[in-house]
């Protein structure tokens, strides 16, 4: 399924891929077009009339497109990226704001990538509606939100109490998966029987498409098998999970830190466990980074801020 996501993203990206072409000349052409139509020359209008010229930018944009499309598939049953809806884009960005704690730089980069996706869709469909609609979705998703360049600690004070107050059993299982092996919300939104073997090894695709194999407890594995037997899969709607988590935080007197806040708890608990085993700070950060699928010890520092 995720391979199909990458294939569709790469196919759509052909609409804006301009490797080897001159970005400067493209901007000059955009300026002439804007002047002819009496439109203001600004970064927003230029971006709508130019493509992607750098490989690094292309990689960043495609990563965000894949994440958005996967979110749309999991939560809105959208199976064709060419039919990406405004509602899905708005919900995805709202979820991204929640997961990143409203990091201004991250949301700005994500918004730029989504607008470029709209440009690609408009070119594909020979229309001009996607850019307008996506910009409106971005405006709605960010309205009233405080976006800051911050690395505040987002771990929950009492994650066990939080889990106990979740109203939906599947959400409690999802929270346990993050507590045990640090799974991201997107990674646990859909788990199928072939991902869990008889040795309780859970296989899942992590950020960037890499394979992860983690051993989970027998109790948690049996819970997943119960869902497999009953529903054929384990599935979590992230919007419903987020709402349940928010209500549980309120009920337990804790600040709501989103689904991603549970990853902070996972990082901090494992870090101090490794330190108690005699590992140095750097060694512990490296171990935690591997567990979280980052493979860079410096990223662990982000999760350890107090």
Q: Which residues contact 188 (CB under 8 A, 6 or more apart)?
A: 174, 177, 178, 204, 234, 236
pLDDT of residue 1: 42
DSSP at 252: T
pLDDT surpassing 70 at residue 146 = no
Q: Mean pLDDT check: name the lowest of 68-82, 98-112, 166-180.
A: 98-112
Task: Read off the pLDDT of each residue in 110-124 and give the average, rounded to a whole number.
Answer: 93
On the question of pLDDT at 2 being above 50, the answer is: no
| Paired residues of 235 in beta bridges | 190
Q: Under CATH, which number does the domain 2-17+52-142 receive?
A: 1.10.150
Q: Could you give the angle at the alpha carbon of 220 between the alpha carbons of 66 and 166, nearest 5°?
A: 75
Hey, how many other C-beta atoms are within 10 angstroms of the C-beta on 193?
A: 14
* 147 pLDDT higher than 70: no
Lowest mean per-residue pLDDT among 39-43, 148-152, 198-202, 264-268: 148-152
What integer best gives the mean pLDDT of the chain?
A: 88
pTM score of the predicted model = 0.55
How many residues would you count in the chain? Answer: 306
Of residues 105 and 159, more confidence is placed in 159
**pLDDT digits 0-9 by tens, 158-207:** 999 999 999 999 999 999 999 999 998 888 999 999 999 999 999 998 76
Domains of the chain, by residue range, sit at 2-17+52-142, 159-303
Domain covering 159-303, topology: hpI Integrase; Chain A (1.10.443)
The CA-based angle 293-298-303, given to 5 degrees, is 70
pLDDT at position 215 over 90: yes
3-state helix, strand, coil in the chain (%, to 5): 65, 5, 30
pLDDT at position 300 over 90: no
Mean pLDDT of 74-78: 92
Specify the range with the lowest mean pLDDT, choosing from 116-120, 121-125, 144-148, 294-298: 144-148
pLDDT tens digits for range 15-50:
999 999 988 898 899 889 888 988 887 777 888 888
Angle of the 86-100 helix axis to the 129-142 helix axis, nearest 10:
40
Q: What is the pLDDT of residue 223?
A: 96
Give dist(CA 95, CA 106) in Å, integer: 12
pLDDT for residue 306: 55
Q: What is the spatial distance between Cα 166 and Cα 250, in angstroms, rounded to a whole number?
A: 11
CA distances from 255 to 101, 153, 246 (A): 12, 11, 9
Whether the Cβ atoms of residue 87 and residue 134 lie closer than 8 Å to each other:
no
Handedness of CA 247, 85, 189, 298 (dihedral sign): negative
| pLDDT score recorded for residue 152 | 62
Cβ 179 vs Cβ 245: under 8 Å? no
* Least confident among 42-46, 79-83, 136-140: 42-46
Do 16 and 120 form a contact (C-beta atoms < 8 A)? yes
Identical fold, 2-17+52-142 and 159-303: no
End-to-end Cα distance, the chain:
38
């Amino acid at each position: 399924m995720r391979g199909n996501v990458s294939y569709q993203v790469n196919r759509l990206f052909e609409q804006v891929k301009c490797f080897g072409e001159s970005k400067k000349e493209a901007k000059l052409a955009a300026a002439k077009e804007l002047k002819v139509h009496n439109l203001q020359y600004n970064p927003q209008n230029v971006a709508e009339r130019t493509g992607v010229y750098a490989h690094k930018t292309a990689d960043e944009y495609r990563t965000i497109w894949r994440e958005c499309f996967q979110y749309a598939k999991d939560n809105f049953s959208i199976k064709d990226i060419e039919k990406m809806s405004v509602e899905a884009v708005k919900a995805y960005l709202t979820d991204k704001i929640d997961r990143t704690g409203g990091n201004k730089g991250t949301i700005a980069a994500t918004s730029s990538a989504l607008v470029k996706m709209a440009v690609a869709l408009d070119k594909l469909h020979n229309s001009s509606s996607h850019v307008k609609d996506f910009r409106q979705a971005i405006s709605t998703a960010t309205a009233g939100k405080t976006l800051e360049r911050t690395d505040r600690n987002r771990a929950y004070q009492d994650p066990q109490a939080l889990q106990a107050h979740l109203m939906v059993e599947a959400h409690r299982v999802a929270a346990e998966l993050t507590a045990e092996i640090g799974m991201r919300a997107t990674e646990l939104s859909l788990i199928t029987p072939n991902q869990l073997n008889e040795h309780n090894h859970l296989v899942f695709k992590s950020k960037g498409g890499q394979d992860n194999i983690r051993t989970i407890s027998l109790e948690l594995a049996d819970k997943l098998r119960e869902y497999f037997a009953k529903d054929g899969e384990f599935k979590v709607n992230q919007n419903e999970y987020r709402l349940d988590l928010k209500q549980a935080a309120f009920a337990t007197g804790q600040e709501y830190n989103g689904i991603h806040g549970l990853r902070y708890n996972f990082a901090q608990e494992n870090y101090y466990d490794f330190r108690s085993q005699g590992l140095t700070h750097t060694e512990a950060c490296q171990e935690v980074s591997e567990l979280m699928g980052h493979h860079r010890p410096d990223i662990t520092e982000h999760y350890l801020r107090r």
